[in-house]
Amino acid sequence: MIRTTALVALCLSALPAWAAEFNLSYASPYTEAHPYGAADAEWIARIEEQSGGRVDITPYWGRTLITSREGVDELSAGVADMAYIAPIYARSGYDMNRLVPGMFYGYTDPEKVLSVYMDLVEENPVFNEELGGVHVVGYNVGTPMHVLLREGPVESLDDLKGLRIRSAVDFIGPLAAFGAEGVTMPMTETYPALEKGVVDGVIAPYEALKSLSFAEVVGYYSELPHSRGAYPSRGINDAVWAGLPADIQQIFDDNTEWLSMRTLELAQVAEDAGRAYGVEQGVKFNAVAPDVVAAYSEAFAPAIQKVAEDLDGMGKPGSEVLGRIRAAYGN
């Protein structure tokens, strides 16, 4: 009896002063050093603190458990309790979540984009219905991308003629409208392509000047905006969510806006650092005249209108949402 009592006492002494009621895993394709990962780390600490230690979250960084393209499916399947998700990168499905971000073309204030988008999600249940199996607890908004060029700036749309520019698929049409060729290739292959002159430029954000070392192989950064819109970016597996008590669920929901804004703030820090690095490396920056920006933005309209009509054909409010987005900016 004495030995048994001593053994129990020893085991109890090895336990922490408190044990969490809910031990959750969080998976991200990013490292903790990335702005998205840094925001996640702060968010995890915040949730743990606000729950009074009842929630304990173990992060798995850098694609350990989850990928970017299939994040929603992987989270729904239970590869982790919570995860970074990016339905905009999915090859198909999640139609409103995947396609609506493109409707923000020409808009340069990411905080306003995020606000408008979150209002749309609240007003239209279809956004969450598409993500069956996932409860959203955070959103991302992209800072605008611009045109980085080897040989000279873009000051008028005529300056785009004849250029080969590494581009996302969504930007190929507008580039072609003004005589440029959009070239798709992985960002990891873009540096040598710029260095060798295989492409004349790339559409990228300020932070890429530093993070991808583009400041070493471009001479000009022309601020012709390419908006990236907003999208759901963190979620909790629905079965896990259902197993949490209402007060813990409320803590997560109350931090949705905080996580979304903190992600934007840290992304902006990276943008500022990238621009500063570009200045150090001698990159020349130029603002593009508002009338030129407006004319370029108009080239996005036909394709986006077709996207909206296709969503309408699926029984989803494509044209209604497009109208709300454009009206929010007075056009």
Confidence of residue 12 (pLDDT cuts 50, 70, 90): very low
Nearest to 134 by CA among 85, 95, 101: 85
Taking the domain 145-226+283-299, which CATH number applies? 3.40.190.10
SS (H, E, C) 56-104: EEEEECCCCCCCCCCHHHHHHCCCCCEEECCHHHCCCCCHHHHHHHHHH
**Checking DSSP bridges between strand 134-141 and strand 230-237, what pairing results, if any?**
antiparallel
Domains 18-141+230-271 and 145-226+283-299 share a fold: yes
pTM of full prediction above 0.85: yes
Backbone angles phi, psi at 138, to 5 degrees: -170, 150
Query: From CA 259, how far away is CA 44, in angstroms rounded?
Result: 10
107 or 9, which is more confident: 107
Query: From CA 147, how far away is CA 161, in angstroms rounded?
Result: 13
All residues at 6 or more sequence positions from 19 whose CB lies less than 8 Å from its CB, including other chains: none
Mind giving me the DSSP string for 169-190? HHHHHHHHHTT-EEE---GGGH
Nearest to 317 by CA among 305, 326, 309, 306: 309
Q: What count of residues does the chain have?
A: 331
Q: Write out pLDDT tens, residues 133-185.
A: 999 999 999 899 999 999 999 999 999 999 999 999 889 999 999 999 999 99
Q: Write out pLDDT tens, residues 217-264.
A: 999 999 999 998 999 999 999 999 999 999 999 999 999 999 999 999
How far lies 187's CA from each of 97, 202, 213, 319, in Å? 23, 9, 11, 32
Which pairs with CB-CB distance under 8 Å and at least 24 residues apart come from 107-113? 107/225, 107/227, 107/329, 108/144, 108/225, 108/227, 110/141, 110/142, 110/143, 110/144, 110/230, 110/264, 110/268, 111/141, 111/261, 111/264, 112/328, 113/141, 113/227, 113/229, 113/230
Sheet holding 145-149, edge to edge: 181-183, 164-166, 201-204, 145-149, 220-226, 284-287
Taking the domain 18-141+230-271, which CATH number applies? 3.40.190.170
Name which of 5-19, 26-40, 49-63, 103-117 the model is least confident about.
5-19
Where do the structural domains in the chain lie, given as residue ranges?
A: 18-141+230-271, 145-226+283-299
